[in-house]
Amino acid sequence: MTLSTAAPATAWFSRPAARTWTCAPAPAEVAAFHANLPGYAPTPLTEVPALAAELGVERVFVKDESARLGLPAFKILGASWGVHQALRHAARRPERLVTATDGNHGRAVAALARAHGLPARVFVPSGVHPAARAAIEAEGAEVVETNASYDEAVRRAAADPGLLVQDTAWPGYEEVPRWIVEGYSTLFTEIDAQLNAAGAAPAGLVAVPVGVGSLAQAAVTHYRATSTGSTVLSVEPETAACVLASLTEGRPVTVPDGSTIMAGLNCATPSTLAWPYLRDGLDAAVAVSDDDTARAARDLASHGIPAGPCGAASLAGVRAALTEDRRADLAPAATVVLLSTEGTTANPAL
Ligand SMILES: Cc1ncc(COP(=O)(O)O)c(C=O)c1O
């Protein structure tokens, strides 16, 4: 995490050459691991014809992560495989699990620590909603308020002697984040099967809410390992668009700390593990405002989908990407998939 600081970037980046880039897929055993977890079921992929009409595409589906293995976000997919692998590879049983979080990842790690009979310590940055903090505590974890940025909370967690289960990477800390990214692959294998069952074309445009870029790395890995020609779009808050800024500059940069209702996306520095995948394999990146995301959350709610601010960012991002001037940069997409990565939150701004 010794990256330089950049001014806020422009709100759009595209790279058509990304579609021809290829990489190896995530290990096939991950989906089987999740399928064996108690309470596992694929989350819904809900078709919303009204959004297809609005966006001028054939079909729009929303992957609704509001109820995933008992938690209201996708994060436990990565944390469960990450903790499983980290404990399997650890020389001895750790004193506790440790992480830093904007909310969802920490709650997942806390729940997993409890399931494994271990204590958990979770460092939170300033700006995390009290309800998110209370939810982590309700899983039995100790919450450490840092009154600092997300990056600083990660530094504090990394200094703790417990077993660090962090969903972002930096030089020298890449093994656990790699497992966490592998864990996210199940979300995409579910989508493939669900589109197929719905008689839809493979995902043409996939919108991914982005914080440090680990979920987007999993998306790029999935779609570039197969020859679906899918377009992967990253969506960030205007006030924390570190991936957009990094793509624009052609190197990983840290953006100034900002605030946003999209708490889980409020990250200033891309994961070093994700960066090469995003640089080479991401088709486009866009930044959206809190207002646009709040409107998207209300619209999704009117279609029966309980999306929190991070989850609704996907719809706000696709609306911003499929404008007349920008959609020419993207491959034509019959099927659009919006990742709604969390359920409704206690945020009063929505
Ligand atoms: C609900 C939600 N969506 C998306 C993300 C972004 O994931 P990443 O940080 O891997 O880019 C997060 C991260 O915490 C999140 O909580």
In a domain, 279, yes or no: yes
Q: Read off the pLDDT of residues 10-63 as tens digits, 9 standing for 90 and up.
A: 699 999 999 999 999 999 999 999 999 999 999 999 999 999 999 999 999 999
202 and 273 in a single domain? The answer is: yes
Could you give the number of structural domains in the chain?
2
In a domain, 199, yes or no: yes
In a domain, 274, yes or no: yes
Ligand 1 environment, Cβ below 6 A: 73, 75, 102, 104-105, 167, 209-216, 264-265, 267, 310-311, 341-342
Q: The pTM is what?
A: 0.96
Residues of 92-121 as b/e, b for ≥16 C-beta within 10 angstroms? eebeebbbbbbbbbbbbbbbbbeeeebbbb
The answer to whether 273 and 178 have CB atoms below 8 angstroms apart is yes
91 and 235 in a single domain? The answer is: no
In a domain, 350, yes or no: no
89 and 206 in a single domain? The answer is: no
Whether the pLDDT of residue 341 is over 90: the answer is yes
For a ligand 1 pocket test, name from 104, 128, 176, 266 the mutation site with the most ligand atoms within 8 angstroms of its C-beta. 104
Q: What is the pLDDT of residue 3?
A: 46
131 and 159 in a single domain? The answer is: yes
Report d(CA 165, CA 168) in Å as an integer: 9
156 and 204 in a single domain? The answer is: no
| Residue 265 CA to ligand 1 centre (angstroms) | 6
| Residue 334 CA to ligand 1 centre (angstroms) | 26
Q: What is the pLDDT of residue 226?
A: 85
| Residue 92 CA to ligand 1 centre (angstroms) | 30
Q: Which domain holds residue 107?
A: 75-173
In a domain, 22, yes or no: yes
For a ligand 1 pocket test, name from 129, 215, 261 the mutation site with the most ligand atoms within 8 angstroms of its C-beta. 215
The two tokens of residue 63 are: 């992957």
In a domain, 349, yes or no: no
Q: Of the candidates 120, 147, 173, which is a domain's last residue?
A: 173
205 and 191 in a single domain? The answer is: yes
132 and 243 in a single domain? The answer is: no
Whether the pLDDT of residue 76 is over 70: the answer is yes
| Residue 209 CA to ligand 1 centre (angstroms) | 6
Q: For residue 263, what pLDDT band results from cuts at 50, 70 and 90? A: very high
Q: Which helix (H) or strand (E) holds 14?
A: strand 12-14
Q: What is the pLDDT of residue 204?
A: 95
The residue whose CA has the least distance to atom 14 of ligand 1 is 264
58 and 102 in a single domain? The answer is: no
Residue 123 or residue 102, greater confidence = 123
Q: Of the candidates 173, 193, 219, which is a domain's last residue?
A: 173
In a domain, 20, yes or no: yes
Nearest CA to 282 out of 243, 245, 325, 252 is that of 243
Q: What is the pLDDT of residue 350?
A: 57
Nearest CA to 184 out of 71, 346, 73 is that of 73
Averaged pLDDT for residues 195-221: 97
| Residue 161 CA to ligand 1 centre (angstroms) | 25
CATH code, 199: 3.40.50.1100
Q: Ligand 1 atom closest to Cα of 210? A: 11
225 and 331 in a single domain? The answer is: yes
Nearest CA to 350 out of 310, 304, 303 is that of 310
The answer to whether 130 and 292 have CB atoms below 8 angstroms apart is no
Whether the pLDDT of residue 8 is over 60: the answer is no
Whether the pLDDT of residue 349 is over 60: the answer is no
Whether the pLDDT of residue 261 is over 70: the answer is yes
In a domain, 62, yes or no: yes
- The CA-based angle 159-94-263, given to 5 degrees, is 50
Greatest distance between any 2 Cα atoms in the chain: 57
The answer to whether 124 and 156 have CB atoms below 8 angstroms apart is no
Report d(CA 238, CA 10) in Å as an integer: 9
Averaged pLDDT for residues 248-273: 95
18 and 167 in a single domain? The answer is: no
Q: What is the pLDDT of residue 135?
A: 95
Whether the pLDDT of residue 2 is over 90: the answer is no
What is the DSSP-derived secondary structure letter of residue 173? B
Q: Of the candidates 139, 156, 173, which is a domain's last residue?
A: 173
Report d(CA 241, CA 256) in Å as an integer: 10
Averaged pLDDT for residues 108-131: 95
273 and 186 in a single domain? The answer is: yes
Q: For residue 227, what pLDDT band results from cuts at 50, 70 and 90? A: confident
The residue whose CA has the least distance to atom 15 of ligand 1 is 264
192 and 169 in a single domain? The answer is: no
